Structure 1
């Protein structure tokens, strides 16, 4: 209910509280029921703030977002997990005279997954290429 009044402020408060609880090690929760990728976590945050709507045109689906990028595939994955759903024609059109958009909302399971992810440490990044070894240093002096 708080996110309906000031979604960005509510998410900042939740972040601050979760990090403080984790810092003090008061959090003894188990692993989340729905593990989230970084893209899914970002999408859930954007949905919570009311920044995501979906449309379809000529057989293709599109996601409209305000701040952070949300991909159609990410939205579909959240819907398959039961973490988000669309409310048909409940958002204003993207342009004047256009069709109404589908507002994307979190389900109760989505709210729980987001709350668990906020309080958990960040997921490790995928392994990338190893850094190149540093070249050997020479002093410019020769031994004689």
Structure 2
């Protein structure tokens, strides 16, 4: 491991219905909702879900793209997919996530083995899509 102090703060996902997306990530994936009530009350531009104490997923409505003016062409990113986002979990949480996704009828890939990532080879991994087509990988490392 490196001693890099940089952390991943957030990933912005383009979604068609932020409330439905938040419900998916809360119920099927098991993440904690952030600012969903405030979004519904039109007090904030988008809700989020918490991955851990340092990282959230922002659930930005595609209609928000026109407000993305931080760089030339940034608004054009709506609909441009990222290949996938990987969630690393403890072994028991990995198994619980897979079971919860199955209960919600979410199609899952087969279990893969020895996939390389930030912490080396992960013994098991699988992929799933959210309702907007964003692809996620779930993995665990030996503990």
* TM-score, with length taken from structure 2: 0.30
By percentage of residues, which structure has more strand? 2
Higher helix share: 1
Which structure has the higher relative contact order (CA within 8 Å, separation 6+)?
1
When the two structures are superposed, what TM-score results if normalisation uses the length of structure 1?
Answer: 0.30
